[in-house]
Amino acid sequence: MIKLIITKQKPNLLKNLEKYNKIFIIGCGNCATICKTGGENEVKALAEKLGDKVIGNIVIESPCNLKFLKKDLKPFMYSNAEVIVALCCGVGVQSIVEFTNKEVIPGLDTLFLGEVGIKGRFYERCRACGTCILYETGGICPISRCAKKLLNGPCGGMVNEKCEVGNYSKDCAWILIYKRLKELGRDFEKIIEVHNWQNKPGELILGD
Amino acid sequence: MKRIFSEFMKALYNNSFVFTTEIEPKKTVNPEGIINLARKFKNHVIACNITDNPRAHAYMNSIIASYIIQREVGLETICHMTVRDRNRLALISDVLGACALGIKNILTITGDHTTMGDNPNAMPVYDIDSTQFIYMLRKMVDEGIDLAGNKIDGEVRIHIGAVGNPNANPFEPEILKIKRKINAGVEFIQTQIVFDVERAKRFIEELKAPPPFILIGIFPCNSYRMAEFIDKKVPGISVPNEYKEVLKKANENKEKIDESNIEYFSEMIKELKKTTRASGIHIMTIKYEDIVGKIIDSVKGIC
Ligand code: SF4
Ligand code: SF4
């Protein structure tokens, strides 16, 4: 199983692009390709819809990586463009802005960090909350999987193991956790303390 | 020595069998509606719950509504507070404000998700959950400090309640969650509505030790249609056929509907009083407020 950033196509993208006549499209060879939202096929499909307004397009291995942008994206390709449409996650969009200094329109909505299931469905599994508590919850993350991010058991909205949010179609994360802890023979009565949401002074930067 | 701040808690400690009911402030700037309701209830119940944006609908603030009722009517309130709409800072500051206004009982609530409400795109907060809210309130009351250990000037004189659901399926995780709340220091539990006395008994039985005070929630229906609606449309709650049948027979006749409710629920109340350690009954209604006093009167002398 691969972990990736899950995106979906923005509604009204074509409408928002109506006023432009010189458009350059950038796709993503990594997450958005696997999601089928910004790979070769999707870039081609968008280019066809926009017709001769498109002055060029490219799929970059990972637009979120400045090294790849530098290697693959040459200024002459996009310098005439009024706007760049980025079919990648919000991180990629920002790298492209930084690298090209052009107006960039996100073509996708960035949804979550997901697991790719066996049948090709995507499951939200982590919100990068900064303080991982997976040990306490038996390896099932309530911060991303419980609609209320609760840390101490199912809320009153649980009915027959399902969650009130989504009209009782999804499993209540806390029932999954309860079953898992039971399987592991672990105590369910211990209180999980208030979460440290790692309140960050703006952007976090890691590395030397 | 246990410190007691409210009339409600005093009655519970005195082993009185108590009655509470509920008022829902609406999307209004006028307090007359809640004041009139509170006047109706005043001579019947020891305290009245005031809901906090129920079903994630943005209504008049529960703290302000509680204050108005206590001041205008002299009826003690149990103020609901959800963790859906406030982070820990807002919770601390609202509790301090509630204390300043003389509110003595707080019911800690998770809160229905914002997607269920009347502003469905709102960001829900859930910074801390209801169990952690109880833990925080205990620190405020017992140690005079907030969650981070900062000192509070003056005493926080609040009793802490939580909700429980005797209808929960599966049942065990609900009980275990309430045990977490008991470990955190909750003093009383008011339950979701229940029609089936056996379910109520099972719930009380499971929460033997250490025992919080438990008030069982009931909901007299003002028509057969209402009972049908709850049975079919309210997830997780089932209404026994025998109750639905008597309402059906009453055939929209108000007096007969009242009689049926009085009979059904007074039996249930007597049974709970006789066979369990329930501390009282929490009566919720929709457009049927006058039944509250009638049911309570019908068990006077016994309870
Ligand atoms: S607790 Fe959940 S959201 Fe936080 S880091 Fe762990 S998996 Fe991610
Ligand atoms: S029903 Fe379960 S998953 Fe849904 S909000 Fe409540 S605890 Fe979370």
Tens-place pLDDT, residues A145-187: 999 999 999 999 999 999 999 999 999 999 999 999 999 999 8
Phi, psi at A179, each rounded to 5°: -65, -40
Is residue A50 over pLDDT 90?
A: yes
Cβ–Cβ contact A178 with B under 8 A:
yes
In which element (H, E) is residue A33 found?
helix A31-34
Residue B164 CA to ligand 2 centre (angstroms)? 15
Return d(Cα B234, Cα B230) in angstroms, integer. 5
Write down the pLDDT at residue A1.
42
Write down the pLDDT at residue B301.
80
Return d(Cα B108, Cα A201) in angstroms, integer. 31
A157 lines ligand 2 (CB under 6 A): yes
Write down the pLDDT at residue A3.
64
A153 lines ligand 2 (CB under 6 A): no
pLDDT band, very low/low/confident/very high, at A203 (cuts 50, 70, 90): confident
Residues of chain B with Cβ-Cβ distance to A151 below 8 Å are 129, 131-132
Write down the pLDDT at residue A200.
66
Cβ–Cβ contact A41 with B under 8 A:
no
Residue A38 CA to ligand 1 centre (angstroms)? 26
Return d(Cα A106, Cα A85) in angstroms, integer. 6
Pocket test for ligand 2, best of A143, A161, A164 (most atoms within 8 A of CB): A164
A148, B129: Cβ pair inside 8 Å?
Answer: yes
Query: Chain A closest CA to B173's CA: distance in Å?
Result: 7
Write down the pLDDT at residue A207.
79
Query: Chain B closest CA to A199's CA: distance in Å?
Result: 12
Return d(Cα B209, Cα A15) in angstroms, integer. 63
Is residue A114 over pLDDT 50?
A: yes
pLDDT band, very low/low/confident/very high, at A2 (cuts 50, 70, 90): low
Residues of chain B with pLDDT under 50: none
B116, A159: Cβ pair inside 8 Å?
Answer: no
**Can you tell me which atom of ligand 1 is nearest the CA of A127?**
3
Residue A142 CA to ligand 2 centre (angstroms)? 9
Whole-complex ipTM: 0.92
Torsion of CA A47, A59, A113, A83, to 10 degrees: -50
A146 lines ligand 1 (CB under 6 A): no
Tokens of A81: 């463009």
Q: Find the farthest-apart pair of alpha carbons in chain B and give their distance in angstroms, rounded.
A: 61
B124, A151: Cβ pair inside 8 Å?
Answer: no
Phi, psi at B253, each rounded to 5°: -80, 115
Print the SS3 string covering chain B.
CCCCCCHHHHHHHCCCCEEEEEECCCCCCCCHHHHHHHHHHHCCCCEEEECCCHHHCCCCCHHHHHHHHHHHHCCCEEEEEECCCCCHHHHHHHHHHHHHCCCCEEEEECCCCHHHCCCCCCCCCCCCCHHHHHHHHHHHHHHCECCCCCECCCCCCCEEEEEECCCCCCCHHHHHHHHHHHHHCCCEEEEEECCCHHHHHHHHHHCCCCCCEEEEEECCCCCHHHHHHHHHHCCCCCCCHHHHHHHHHHCCCHHHHHHHHHHHHHHHHHHHHHHCCCCEEEECCCCCCHHHHHHHHHCCCCC
Select the residue of A158, A164, A175 nearest B116 (Cβ to Cβ): A164
Cβ–Cβ contact A10 with B under 8 A:
no
Select the residue of A153, A159, A195 nearest B235 (Cβ to Cβ): A159
Judge contact between B190 and B212, C-beta under 8 A: no
